[in-house]
A and B are shown apart, each in its own frame.
Chain A
């Protein structure tokens, strides 16, 4: 069963070195992220993951009545911002929650654990012939 761990930080927590995302960090905390990612890999549960640039670099896109709308900023005006994600493959929710509780930014931010819909990854969808150009 795959779960996505969505890593969120409060904007003001970004100055807190302990809660920075993995890339572009120069103060040694990157080691925590490396260690955690290695632990996921060594346990055989790591499917993938990325760190994102800050929410101030985000652009929100929508199309309404055929017109493309662009807005500077993330799509949701929430207290916490997405800083990255992991996808892990574990037996059940309790196992996913255990991994989420070990993510380096968990002490200052919040990890949202979302079950991934089985068979919904792009490769599977393409292989199943559901997409028009799969053949």
Chain B
């Protein structure tokens, strides 16, 4: 990208600016934030630098090292602002016109060999996901400053008003500044402790998009894409971390099914009714290759979940899923993270491997757990096992119980449809 001629054509400089925004914004921001100790000031300075680039690059050509140009310019803007003491406090600026969708798309296929940003971005991610911040704030900060979404976009995705989201972000940044949460990378041991926090945030962003917990659209693909992009960044930075690899594989495998999960009307298609030809096999292959590279000694929870998802993804049909292996993987997962939620999934796998009777047997302890009474998937799994055991009336009742717990109206409709289908099977 070398062109110092003052006659740079608009598309060329816009491309360069778009590229810089996608690939270098987070690194420039991280550098500024570390030097200023203030994420808000740094973000404003970076926005101003991009605004300056829009003017300067179109007139003077694209600099040889755009990242360095932006960093220097942002730094100067920050110093100017501090000196004049009239720095804008908050701003929601999208500094250039390139469409948000195309930005996300091209980031999905960003060149993984480009490692120029590395430690800066990782330290920024770690700061945003610092355990001293609430998990809500962690997610919002990560989307705002690492993924580069605007306050307005994040507010829309979490269905709060823009001022509410802005306030939340301002408070979180104020805590980072006042409590001096460092922008430096922690040592290796701490880093690996902290990675689990980052994984949780990234996976939360993904699952929030994958099956929205609110009454908006059932699937918010942009959140899934943000999470996938974050996973890829993280994996590029700590490729040797098995759980990071596992998380990327897991998100890839879920993403592979995203087209098949909704029909033309936006209705959720249940897993066992999905058209498997719609699954994105390139993502499946990528996940498979990633998992093959991770060690098999004491795999972590994301690796185990990814291994389970892979079993599903490579099977040509529901019946071809190696259910006994899936059940064994769930057993390992249950050992790693004992939870009734995992127990439900294990019971489903046992039900497929050894018949609905065995599945119902495995589900019994969870059914008698009072704390699980409002857990929708438990009732759905129970209903499915009952249905396959021929106990259709009980199955219909269980589907209805599940539907009553569904927050998402589309999800509820789908569960009620199943209840009716089960009843129609009754003799």
Contacts and interface: CB of A to CB of B under 8 A. Distances in A.
Given A1-B180, A93-B130, A115-B178, 6 more contacts: A92-B184, A93-B132, A93-B179, A93-B180, A94-B190, A113-B179
Contacts of A93: 130, 132, 179-182
Contacts of A1: 180
Interface of B: 130, 132, 178-182, 184, 186, 190
Contacts, number: 22
A91 interface: yes
Contacts of A91: 180, 182
B182 A92 contact: yes
A97 interface: yes
Interface in A71-125: 91-94, 97, 113, 115
Contacts of B180: 1, 91-93, 115
A122 B184 CA distance: 32
A1 B178 CA distance: 10
Contacts of B184: 92
Q: Which of B132, B179, B184 lies at the interface centre, i.e. has the most chain A CB atoms within 10 A of its CB?
A: B179
22 contacts: A1-B180, A91-B180, A91-B182, A92-B180, A92-B181, A92-B182, A92-B184, A93-B130, A93-B132, A93-B179, A93-B180, A93-B181, A93-B182, A94-B181, A94-B182, A94-B186, A94-B190, A97-B132, A113-B179, A115-B178, A115-B179, A115-B180
A92 B178 CA distance: 10
Nearest to B177: A115
Nearest to B194: A94
Contacts of B130: 93
Q: Which of B180, B181, B184, B190 lies at the interface centre, i.e. has the most chain A CB atoms within 10 A of its CB?
A: B180
Contacts of B190: 94
Contacts of B178: 115
Contacts of A94: 181-182, 186, 190
A113 B132 CA distance: 10
Contacts of A92: 180-182, 184
A2 to B, nearest CB: 10
A94 B187 CA distance: 11
Contacts of A115: 178-180
A103 B6 CA distance: 63
A7 to B, nearest CB: 18
Contacts of A113: 179
A94 B181 CA distance: 7
Nearest to B190: A94
Contacts of B132: 93, 97
A14 B182 CA distance: 35
Enumerate the 6 nearest inter-chain pairs by beta-carbon distance, A residue then B residue, closest first: A92-B182, A115-B179, A92-B180, A93-B179, A93-B181, A1-B180
A44 B382 CA distance: 61
A97 B190 CA distance: 12
A55 to B, nearest CB: 27
B274 to A, nearest CB: 45
A114 to B, nearest CB: 8
B68 to A, nearest CB: 27
Nearest to B131: A97
A94 B180 CA distance: 9
Interface in A29-78: none
A113 B131 CA distance: 13
A118 to B, nearest CB: 10
A115 B186 CA distance: 20
B290 to A, nearest CB: 31
A17 B258 CA distance: 56
A71 B334 CA distance: 52
B39 to A, nearest CB: 14
Nearest to A114: B179
B305 to A, nearest CB: 30
B58 to A, nearest CB: 41
Nearest to A98: B190
A99 to B, nearest CB: 14
A94 B176 CA distance: 11
Nearest to A1: B180
Contacts of B182: 91-94
A113 B181 CA distance: 12
Contacts of B179: 93, 113, 115
A115 B179 CA distance: 5
A120 to B, nearest CB: 12
Nearest to B181: A93
A94 B186 CA distance: 9
A6 to B, nearest CB: 14
A10 to B, nearest CB: 22
B234 to A, nearest CB: 20
